[in-house]
C-alpha cells in the first residue's frame, strides 16, 4: 500500500515498514520518527546508520546483535527508541521489519 510521508507517496506494509529503500531519505526518516513521537538527534542517527549498514550487508538484526555492536548498548537503545526499539528503529531507517525473537 501507499502512504503519504513528508508529502511523498511511499510504499509501505500494513504495519508501516517501507518496502522500497530507494524511496527513503533522511527527511522521510524524520517524518516516520515524528509519527512515533521521536525527535531524532545525532545519537539516533549513529544507531540508524549502523542498522542500515547491517541491513545492506544482509546481517539479520536482533537485540543481542545491537547490544554487541559497539555503537550502542541495549539500555541506551531502549532510551533512544523507548517503545519496541528494534521495530521502531528499522521502520525509521526504511528497512524491513526484523524477524528475530531475540
What is the binding site for other proteins (CB under 8 A)?
60, 62-65, 67, 73-75, 78, 83-87, 100-102
Nearest to other proteins of 23, 36 (CB atom): 36
Nearest to other proteins of 67, 96 (CB atom): 67
Least Å distance, CB 100 to other proteins, is 7
Least Å distance, CB 78 to other proteins, is 6
- What's the rounded Cα separation, in Å, for the pair 35 and 16? 11
Nearest to other proteins of 8, 60 (CB atom): 60
Which helix H or strand E contains 76, and what residues bound it? Answer: helix 74-80
Candidate list 1, 4, 99, 101, residue with the active-site label? 101
Annotation says 60 is catalytic: no
What 8-state DSSP symbol labels residue 1? Answer: -
- What's the rounded Cα separation, in Å, for the pair 72 and 64? 11
> Which residue matches cell numbers 546508520?
49
Radius of gyration of the chain (CA): 13
- List, by residue number, the catalytic residues: 101
Amino acid at each position: 500500500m501507499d502512504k503519504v510521508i513528508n508529502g511523498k507517496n511511499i510504499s509501505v506494509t500494513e504495519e508501516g515498514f517501507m518496502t522500497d529503500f530507494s524511496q527513503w531519505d533522511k527527511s522521510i526518516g524524520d517524518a516516520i520518527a515524528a509519527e512515533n513521537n521521536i525527535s531524532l538527534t545525532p545519537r539516533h542517527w549513529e544507531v540508524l546508520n549502523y542498522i542500515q549498514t547491517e541491513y545492506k550487508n544482509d546481517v539479520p538484526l536482533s537485540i543481542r546483535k545491537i547490544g554487541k555492536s559497539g555503537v550502542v548498548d541495549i539500555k541506551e537503545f531502549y532510551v533512544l527508541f523507548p517503545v519496541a526499539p528494534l521495530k521502531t528503529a528499522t521502520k525509521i531507517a526504511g528497512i524491513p521489519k526484523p524477524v528475530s525473537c531475540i
